[in-house]
Amino acid sequence: MRLPYSVVREWLDANAAAGYLERAGDGYRLPPEQAMALATDDSPVFVAPGTNVMAACFMGIEKILDAFRGDGGLPWGEHHHRMSHGVEKSFRPGYQANLATSWLPALEGVVAKLNAGGKVADVGCGHGASTIVMARAYPMSRFFGFDFHPPSIAVAEKRAAAR
């Protein structure tokens, strides 16, 4: 379905009036602050992938309702695949920006052990985003990712092999 230009223009004007967009000549642009959150996938504040998490909830609404009506449990692997992809894409920029530069250095003695060649078990590694960040930052160490969700492990193994 193609929207008429007038409908799109009205939507753009409304978003410009709200401050989400800026007029730029005959067009529109995202201000830098919004672009960091909505259009820059390596920004540590990129939130756009969260829409995949919400979409997975809607796609699995019957399973979620059944969980509330029953024992309250919904195994991770029972969610729509957009859930694991959305979660990984939401967390990856934070890992890239902070894991090796501030989070691990905040733990006394950890960086020295990693630089010397430690062994790390990344339990609940998902798609391996954090594991890969650590492995790149500390090449003398060995990293092992563990997860009970086979499709996530398959993605993690593929990404690790590519690195």
- pLDDT by residue (tens digit) across 38-65? 888 888 888 888 889 999 999 999 999 9
**Average pLDDT of the chain to the nearest whole number:** 91
From residue 16, give the alpha-carbon distance in Å to each of 7, 67, 123.
14, 41, 44
pLDDT at 110 over 70: yes
How does residue 3 score in pLDDT terms, banded at 50, 70 and 90?
A: low
Percent residues over pLDDT 70 in the chain: 99
How does residue 114 score in pLDDT terms, banded at 50, 70 and 90?
A: very high
Domain boundaries, the chain: 31-162
The pLDDT of residue 50 is 86
Q: Which two tokens stand for residue 10?
A: 């009205």
User: How many CA atoms, within 13 angstroms, populate the side-chain half-sphere of residue 125?
Assistant: 28
Section 7-23 average pLDDT:
90
The pLDDT of residue 19 is 87
Percent residues over pLDDT 90 in the chain: 62
Please provide the DSSP assignment of 73-100 as one string. Answer: ---GGGS-HHHHHHHHHHHHHHIIIIII
pTM: 0.76
Query: Can you tell me the distance from the alpha carbon of 33 to that of 159, in angstroms, rounded to the nearest whole number?
Result: 30
The pLDDT of residue 55 is 92
Tens of pLDDT along 76-103? 889 999 999 999 988 998 899 999 999 9
The pLDDT of residue 72 is 83
